[in-house]
Chains A and B, each alone.
Chain A
Amino acid sequence: MSKVTELTCIRCPIGCAITVTQDDEGKVTEITGNSCQNGYLYAGNEVTNPTRIVTSTVRVDGGELPVVSVKTSGDIPKGRMFDCMKAINKVHVKAPVSIGDVVLKDVLGLGVDIVATKNVGARRQGQAEGADIG
């Protein structure tokens, strides 16, 4: 018996409707409906080993903002998202932080880093944390 899965591709905003067919052993035998290679790879992964990018925030000490936004530098297994969040939430960084700064190396040993996605400058003297927040 082959298994057919209908997916909406999340790799880009087009959101192609992709159909993946797998054989008895779970091996992907056919992928249709995708309009690019990314979609092909996504669909194949999604039924065998689904992965996601995780985005969140990390506390900043002495920053003009209390948190800096971060992301995983690559895909992580979908099932590890909450573990990844736990690891991210333990991190504190010191201002200033720049886009691309690694705030946590090799998260959970998954081979991807947590990197900053925003520039957060150091708080100026006399400036309260988040004072600029309107």
Chain B
Amino acid sequence: MADRTAKIVIIGGGPAGLSAASSAVKEGVAPSDVLILERDHVLGGILNQCIHNGFGLHTFHEELTGPEYAERFEKVVAEEKIPCLLDTIVVNIEVEKGPEASASPDGTGAAAGKAGDGSGNDEAAPVAVCDRKLVSAMNKTDGFFTIEAEAVILAMGCRERPRGALNIPGYRPAGIYTAGTAQRFVNIEGRMPGHRVVILGSGDIGLIMARRMTLEGAKVEVVAELMPYSGGLKRNIVQCLDDFGIPLKLSHTVVDIRGKERVEAVTIAQVGPDRKPVPGTEETYECDTLLLSCGLIPENELSGQLGVKLSGVTSGPVVNESLETSVPGVFACGNVLHVHDLVDYVSEEAAQAGKCAAKFVLGKCPAADAPERVVPVIAKDGVRYTVPSEIRLNHMDELQTIRFRVGGVYKGASVVIDFDGQVFRSQKKKILAPGEMEQVILKKSDLENAADLKAVTIRIAQAE
């Protein structure tokens, strides 16, 4: 037996969870039927430590800092009185099977539960038939408890790749931090992790911390990036490194860390096309701190336990046009789905997840037994993945955003959308880079008009 119930449980109270919550309420779910579970003692997630500006240009048409951006969404959640449990960690999610569809001989009974007829009439749409999700969580006040939900929105964000996952040789002294840890030290706890810094990896947080620590008086010696291109946004290289004369060494990695108690020096070397260090190219920098900004990984331990199908490329769930995972009624958005560069797009994506979860619990989705046309979205030729990876036409909105990343740097190439191998649309891009998420938007009518459409392919066509 569950200790409490909610129509929609949202796991994570960061930018994705907050936006999903307000969107679900906007779509018609009673605020009291939504529940946000947050591990930290405050809402806002990573935005609380992202004190730099550049957030919200897309969403609010003004330039905000991370905490200000978070506060806009927290305000909505507070005004709508959407329940939140803070300091609460979710330990498990599982699906409790509802009555089998086969229980109704005509095969329509079970579908009516979540499909309904749009009347919103409880008698006409018995909710009990959809599979219940049981979310187990714990906190200091309530101990261990279980929440029964009709839909779950996964919004747990991502984690930084730690040193242990990087195979860096050398000693293990104090002074080695992920960039996000250093960001928390400086921006929330008011402490400097060190004064002479080498940064490995050119992810956005590393670039932002290069500037932040420089402004606070540290000397950032160098940013070394293993790949021949930066992992972060070009504008961050400009305003965080170039502005302060911090060198960015592409195709370089750390080959030695010296110091037993505390970092004393870091040696970097150039790497060849095989990404192996080239002997003779070593350079040693005396320093007391090494920051790691080597990639972010969606945090999908709970999703995996639940049996959600995960993508080998993004490490996030595989989702359809409604951002629904392979488990019906479980949705995903934000960095747990795929790592974003911009919170504005996280909010947009999460709003979509919130809306679709609302439709699901309000019985506004097309009947489950209605004939369905499913069009897979395939990533090809330089496109590493797409979110979503399939579109069910009868669930599709008028406009469908498809987000993706490319696997290399392309200049003057085109993003091509193929319908069954025929070019449907092609858009030339000055530059495409792995550090910058791209998107295309498809119209529902485009897909409907393409008779017998079997697959949509997104690919990169290189400049001649």
Is A15 in contact with B235, judged by CB distance below 8 angstroms?
yes
- Which residues of chain B (175-228) have a CB below 8 Å from chain A? 186-190, 212, 215-217
Q: Is A123 an interface residue (CB 8 A)?
A: no
Find chain B residues with CB under 8 A from A67 CB.
187-190
Dominant secondary structure of chain B at its interface with chain A: mixed
Give the contact stretch, choosing among B48-56, B258-266, B416-424.
Answer: B48-56
Q: Is B344 an interface residue (CB 8 A)?
A: yes
Is B188 in contact with A133, judged by CB distance below 8 angstroms?
yes
* Given known A8-B234, A10-B239, A59-B190, contact A99–B67 (CB-CB < 8 A): yes
Interface size class of B (residues with CB under 8 A): 35 or more
Is B58 in contact with A13, judged by CB distance below 8 angstroms?
yes
* Given known A52-B243, A55-B65, A69-B51, contact A10–B238 (CB-CB < 8 A): yes
Q: Is A65 an interface residue (CB 8 A)?
A: yes
Total interface residues on A, CB under 8 Å, equals: 35
In the complex, A15 Cα to B342 Cα: how many Å?
12
Find chain B residues with CB under 8 A from A133 CB.
188-189
Q: Is B63 an interface residue (CB 8 A)?
A: yes
Look across to chain A and name the residue whose beta carbon is closest to the beta carbon of B57. A12
Shortest Cβ distance from residue A42 to the other chain B in the assembled complex, whole angstroms: 11
Is A56 in contact with B215, judged by CB distance below 8 angstroms?
yes
Q: Is B233 an interface residue (CB 8 A)?
A: yes
In the complex, A29 Cα to B53 Cα: how many Å?
30
Q: Is B2 an interface residue (CB 8 A)?
A: no
Find chain B residues with CB under 8 A from A119 CB.
71
* Given known A66-B189, A133-B188, contact A17–B67 (CB-CB < 8 A): no
Find chain B residues with CB under 8 A from A17 CB.
430-431
Is B238 in contact with A117, judged by CB distance below 8 angstroms?
no
Is A82 in contact with B215, judged by CB distance below 8 angstroms?
yes
Find chain A residues with CB under 8 A from B40 CB.
134
Is A13 in contact with B190, judged by CB distance below 8 angstroms?
no
In the complex, A133 Cα to B49 Cα: how many Å?
12
Shortest Cβ distance from residue B88 to the other chain A in the assembled complex, whole angstroms: 13
Find chain B residues with CB under 8 A from A8 CB.
234-235, 237-238
5 contacting pairs across A/B (C-beta < 8 A):
A53-B63, A56-B212, A56-B215, A59-B190, A85-B216
B binding-site residues for A, Cβ under 8 Å: 40-41, 48, 51-54, 57-58, 63-65, 67-68, 71, 186-190, 212, 215-217, 233-235, 237-239, 243, 341-342, 344, 430-431, 436
